[in-house]
Chains A and B, each alone.
Chain A
Amino acid sequence: MSQRPDAVVIGAGIVGASCAEALARAGRRVLILDSSFAGGGTTAAGMGHLVAMDDSPAQLALTAYSGKLWTELVPDLPGNIEYEPCGTLWVAEDEEQLVAVREKQRTYAEFGIEAETLSPTQLAEAEPHLRPGLSGALRVPGDGVIYPPNAALALVQRAIANGAQLREGTRVDAIGPREVLVGRERISCDCVINACGAEAAQLTTGLPIVPRKGHLVITDRYPGFCHHQLVELGYLTSAHTMNAESVAFNVQPRATGQLLIGSSRELVGWDGTVNRAIVRRMLDRALDFMPGLALTSAIRTWTGFRPATPDKLPLIGAWEDTPGLWIAAGHEGLGITTSLGTGQLIADLIVGATPAIDPAPFAPARVHATAGVS
């Protein structure tokens, strides 16, 4: 970049890409650095679910806001992001979960998110491959699915169209006050955004972000096999509880006709090898809900690392220990959804605009407060 950048975004995953896009759109000169290439890290490993999630009011606020931004943006994005407005079905296994479904519906209604309860008959009609005997489901029609690597790339390209520069294969060695060190190169700027996802803590010590490993399995093409993103209601428990290991039923129809089968959560550091035992458990869970999957052909498995925080909320905001440093990381399994809200929030905070949602619950400062306790 011939001119000094206003902002350096480290990490061209979907969160970094969104921050860069929002800042460039706000007129800032942006330099994006990535150790590999855009969308190649955790973003590439994700399912690409655009979902309203209500683990906490703050989470619901951020996911709902982001969902609205995606709906507005999608028409302007290229077809290779493979957006599918398939909606989500939160599947209830028993009466107890059905009570939770109704509660979830009320919560969503408060946020203006459309949702309807499906009876067992309606559920069977909507998704004939689910096993009989389920208690019902919550259908959230506004949710959707995208192909994350190309979505990240599209955001980066929009940033570039607004003057941003992308340097791939560039590993940042350190972040200083209003500067970034790449080998012997010192890049000075007004602000630095650490959007390194699960690796964010490697550049900013003190960030409570740990890698939470996940597995996915993708099948050959079976168009029409299922129509919605299917998630068991127990998913929230799997995602929320920081167990060493958990699985949940989660099947997604891709735009290609392929089926993406998840999900698993493990805390095993940075070991990215396929854990056959947990793949088996994950597929057992999927077969329990969708027995017909047994005869579909799985063509590939992969793993990825979600950037997990102790309170299940991302870190979005200024990092007071280092002047000019902002954090946009720790999105766990919701980074694809919440990337747009995060980018807009970061840009609004940096340029001094009023954010559309309250940024306080995401302020990294809360970490300092809890760090002293734990």
Chain B
Amino acid sequence: MTGLRVDFYPEIVAADVAVIGAGPGGIAAAVSAAERGLRVVVMDRGLEPGGQIWRHKAGAAATPEAQPWITRLAASGARTINGTSVVDVRPDADGFEIIAESASRPLHIWAADIILATGARELFIPFDGWTLPGVMGIGGTQALIKSGASFAGKRVVIAGSGPLMLPVAASLADAGANLLLVAEQARRAAVAQFATGLWRTPSLLLQAAKYRVRFLTSSYTTGTWVTAAHGVDRLESITLTDGRRTWRHDVDVLCTGYGLIPNVEIARLIGCEIREGAIAVDNRQRTNVDHVLAVGEATGIGGAPLSLIEGAIAGSTVGSVEAPSGHLLRRRAALVGAAGRMLDVFAPREELRSLPHADTIVCRCEDVSFGAVQGAACARQAKLYTRVGMGPCQGRTCMPALDFLLAWQADSVRPPVEPALVSVLSSEVAGEATPSFPLTSSVGEAYQ
């Protein structure tokens, strides 16, 4: 038989420490551990190390904050594996076996210890029209810019919540976007209180001011949120409200999102305790599962500076009985306090609970409307009757929204924790298969 043969034998990598996620926390952990002489593997979905905050275009230089760390990572001896999705983690006699998919091939990593640095994702709250192309995440917009998208001349409104809006507004302005408005849903008084609080962390205040200078020609408003997006096949306009009046803007792009939520799926698969939506850790970044540590946003939203310190604590103590340095512990304590204040200020307001109507789609994978799930007694019942949350994103988008809207709790996490090729989940000695793609073109189009 002719044709391409694809080898499905897994690549097997043995390490002392496997770091899952190569954002600031994961990089700091990997660097600290590798510089102690440990064999470290750090893997990430992205095409380059850096995570979301330090994302940069492949082949291009990273930002001044990121570059020293990325250089240090490269020199540390840690092995970085990009473009890799973790599919399953299972304990074995000597530690853990991590099953991942990397460039369409199975990758098995055996490691004595795991450091989870799985980061965070944005919380979206569904509203009419949010599924139109052109409605994007705030962080998603930043990611697109950093991966080469041009927003020059695009009419953009940012409407959502949280400090992430400022750097994205600045990036859009720098990129030549026509940034019409930045609308923060939190009340003016709360935001002002937060800004005042920044005096206690002058570097953050300075940073906020620097961002604001970059989009000074655009309006910034508080107590304002988007209620609907309009358009036929793509976004054309949006409706905003301040709770008293509503108005419309014609836009090409709406950036929306209501803060970050920790990615805890792998932690839950392993059996780590989750507290208030984040991986619970002790002062050495240890979870309740032996030999599993966690750092960064996955342990609570705190920003890159905190992630770096947590990464350093984990990387400097993993696999040893050494206590973390007092210096690191003190800096972490200071930053954790600031992060807690921030979360309170930017908590989504009550009015946002009435954003979705009965026919508003909540599950974008399966196109399930809010009305279809509202009457269900629990998430599992809604999933079975309507397929809400059952698509390839595995509920990562709709379930946090439904937690906010209906107080539903996520149900169990099972492997694969991310969609994976059947060949990756099959036996490690399955050998090769002849792929049957491409199918006929008519069938291929139906996949879309």
Contact = CB atoms under 8 A, between A and B. Distances in A.
Interface of A: 37, 39-40, 44, 80, 128-129, 132, 149-150, 153, 168-169, 217, 219-225, 257, 261, 274, 276, 279-281, 283-284, 286-287, 291-302
Contacts of B385: 39, 80, 149-150, 153
Interface in B282-306: none
| Highest count of chain A CB atoms <10 Å: which of B6, B378, B421, B436 | B436
B386 to A, nearest CB: 8
B415 A274 contact: yes
Contacts of B435: 291-292, 294-295
A291 B436 contact: yes
Contact of B415 (A168, A169, A284, A301): A301
Given A284-B426, A284-B427, A292-B436, A299 B391 contact: yes
B422 A283 contact: yes
Contacts of A132: 1
A280 B90 CA distance: 14
Contacts of A293: 422
B88 interface: yes
B419 A220 contact: yes
A281 B378 CA distance: 33
Contact of B421 (A169, A224, A297, A301): A297
Contacts of A286: 422, 426
A299 B392 contact: yes
B36 interface: no
A287 B446 contact: no
A299 B419 contact: yes
Contact of B88 (A169, A276, A281, A295): A276
B6 A294 contact: yes
A231 B312 CA distance: 53
Contacts of A39: 384-385
B437 interface: yes
B384 A44 contact: yes
Interface string B383-422: 0110000111010000000000000000000111001111
A40 B419 contact: no
Nearest to A283: B426
A78 to B, nearest CB: 11
Contacts of B392: 220, 297, 299
A294 B420 CA distance: 10
Given A223-B446, A294-B8, A298-B416, A283 B433 contact: no
Contacts of B374: none
A276 B433 contact: no
A169 B437 contact: no
B218 to A, nearest CB: 40
Nearest to B415: A274
Given A40-B381, A294-B435, A301-B416, 8 more contacts: A44-B384, A223-B443, A286-B426, A287-B422, A287-B430, A291-B433, A294-B8, A302-B414
Nearest to A279: B425
Contacts of A37: 377-378, 381
B381 A283 contact: no
B82 to A, nearest CB: 20
CB-CB nearest 9 A-B residue pairs: A292-B436, A294-B423, A283-B426, A291-B433, A149-B384, A294-B433, A224-B443, A280-B427, A299-B419
B388 to A, nearest CB: 13
A261 B422 contact: yes
A299 B416 CA distance: 7
B439 A294 contact: no
Most chain B beta carbons < 10 A, residue from A150, A257, A283, A294? A294
A346 B377 CA distance: 30
Interface of B: 1, 6, 8, 88, 90, 104, 377-378, 380-381, 384-385, 390-392, 394, 414-416, 419-423, 425-428, 430, 433-437, 439, 443, 446-447
B423 A301 contact: no
Nearest to B418: A299
Given A287-B423, A300-B414, A168 B436 contact: no
Contacts of B104: 295
A219 B433 CA distance: 18
The interface centre, meaning the residue of B378, B380, B385 with most chain A CB atoms within 10 A of its CB, is: B385
Contacts of A297: 392, 419-422
Nearest to B392: A299
Nearest to A291: B433
15 contacts: A37-B377, A40-B384, A168-B377, A169-B377, A217-B422, A222-B447, A274-B415, A280-B427, A287-B423, A291-B433, A294-B422, A294-B426, A294-B435, A295-B423, A300-B390
A280 B426 contact: yes
A302 to B, nearest CB: 7
B6 A283 contact: no
Contacts of A169: 377
Contact of A224 (B1, B416, B427, B439): B439
Nearest to B420: A298
A332 to B, nearest CB: 21
A201 B428 CA distance: 39
Nearest to A45: B384
B295 to A, nearest CB: 27
Contacts of B377: 37, 168-169
A298 B434 contact: no
A374 B391 CA distance: 47
Given A37-B381, A40-B381, A287-B433, A295 B6 contact: yes
Contacts of A298: 416, 419-422, 425
A82 to B, nearest CB: 10
A153 B277 CA distance: 33
Contact of B437 (A80, A153, A279, A295): A295
Contacts of A292: 433-437
A261 B147 CA distance: 37
A225 B423 CA distance: 16
B191 to A, nearest CB: 40
Nearest to A132: B1
A35 to B, nearest CB: 12
A224 B6 CA distance: 22
A286 B426 CA distance: 9
Q: Kindly name the residue among B104, B385, B422 whose own CB sees the greatest number of chain A CB atoms within 10 A.
A: B422
A219 B416 CA distance: 11
A297 B8 CA distance: 14
A80 B1 CA distance: 42
Contacts of A296: 421-422
A227 to B, nearest CB: 11
A283 B414 contact: no
A298 B425 CA distance: 8
A223 B381 CA distance: 26
Nearest to B8: A294
A295 B423 CA distance: 7
Nearest to A281: B427
A96 B6 CA distance: 32
Contacts of A149: 384-385
Given A40-B384, A280-B426, A294 B421 contact: yes
B436 A287 contact: no
B363 to A, nearest CB: 13
Contacts of B427: 280-281, 283-284
Contacts of A295: 6, 104, 421-423, 433, 435-437
Contact of B425 (A40, A217, A223): A217
